[in-house]
Amino acid sequence: MRNSVARTLTPGSPPVRAIVIERFRTLEDYTDPKRLFGSKQALARSAAEVSEYADPATLHSVPLSEFLLRS
């Protein structure tokens, strides 16, 4: 899921162009490049294409957890 950002709310904070949400079944699916990309060729292709949609110098990737609470 990709969300564009119109403006930051905190004065002086760095600009943000988008927030992308990716879901993975397990943490290992995200942290293991072989599980995430499949092959060295796919990893190399993904690394080569990143500059087409993001600025690698300002790109941040942060793993988070989601908890669904039900009563």
DSSP state of 70: -
Would you state the pLDDT for residue 1? 62
The domain locations on the chain are 28-55
**Amino acid at the residue 59:** L
1-60 tens-digit pLDDT = 667 788 889 999 888 878 888 888 888 998 898 898 888 899 899 889 888 888 888 888
Would you state the pLDDT for residue 15? 83
pTM as predicted: 0.54
Query: From CA 71, how far away is CA 37, in angstroms rounded?
Result: 37
Concatenated DSSP letters of 1-62? -EEE-S--SSTTPPP--EEE----SSHHHHH-HHHHHSSHHHHHHHHHHGGGTS-TTT----
Would you state the pLDDT for residue 33? 86
